[in-house]
Chain A
Amino acid sequence: MARLSYVAILAFVLVGCLWLEIALRTRVLARPRRLLLTLLPVVVVFFLWDAYAISQGHWWFDTGRILGLYVPGSVPFDEILFFAVIPIASVLTLEAVRSVRGWPAGDEPDDA
């Protein structure tokens, strides 16, 4: 069970923000192509940073508290999930603020 510690925190993040999709009608999951195109470059860039940092010994993980699955570069699979979950949470937050306040973000249909 301890090996699920890392992903349990990610689940906590998702529980903390996915309700916005229903309550504030953020419609982020209703725009899957846009979400995927947003996530891909972020995952790639931060994976590369992670792989470099791990190789240089900047940070390391308690192997008893992560899944134990690794992608090339000795990067825990948990980290790849992190680089997808945090952008999803961020976009949900932006759209939640926009839903409530109506402030422009630059992608409005009438925006030049």
Chain B
Amino acid sequence: MTYTQLGLLAIVAMVVVDLWVLRTRLLRRRVFWTSYAIILFFQLVTNGMFTGFGIVKYADAAIIGGTSPVTGPPPFIGDGRLAFAPVEDLMFGFALVLMSLSLWIYWGRRGVDRTPTAGPPVWRADDAGE
């Protein structure tokens, strides 16, 4: 299979894991999508470094766009890329993040280190009840 196919398959697999296997249903929660939006921004920054500096390179047979150049960065945007990285990396990243967060909530729900819970921020030290 190509990276494109595996990326789509991974998204479907992790959606199934979240909704029906671990039943964490993070995809239906505001806390997940807000977190993912923040993570996505930083993924574009850090993955842009991995791909823009040519630390990792991709073959055109596996992705929508063309093969990474031998020297110099690939296109910043276009040719199936965004911030130097193949768009497939967005699928890979989404699956990685969703699997991680689903497992984290699953174990908490099972009672593994459910506490101490997060918060409050240090600047709200007075409302420690929530």
Contact = CB atoms under 8 A, between A and B. Distances in A.
A53 B62 contact: yes
A52 B3 CA distance: 10
Chain B: interface residue count, which band? 35 or more
A25 B118 contact: yes
B27 to A, nearest CB: 11
Interface in A1-23: 5-6, 9, 12-13, 16, 22-23
Contact of A105 (B42, B105, B120): B105
B108 interface: yes
A20 B35 CA distance: 13
Given A57-B61, A106-B105, A95 B38 contact: no
Interface string B79-92: 00000000000001
A105 B31 contact: yes
Contacts of B109: 106-107, 111
Contact of B59 (A46, A58, A94, A97): A58
Interface string B8-44: 0010000000000000111001111011001100100
A83 B53 CA distance: 20
Interface of B: 2-3, 6, 10, 24-26, 29-32, 34-35, 38-39, 42, 46, 49-50, 53-59, 61-63, 92-93, 96-97, 99-101, 103-105, 107-109, 112-122, 130
B3 A94 contact: no
Interface residues of A, number: 62
Interface of A: 5-6, 9, 12-13, 16, 22-28, 30-35, 37-39, 41-42, 45-46, 49, 52-53, 56-62, 65-66, 83, 86-87, 89-91, 93-109, 111
A9 B25 CA distance: 31
Given A6-B50, A34-B104, A97 B38 contact: yes
Nearest to A86: B96
Contacts of A106: 24-26, 29, 105, 109
Nearest to A111: B109
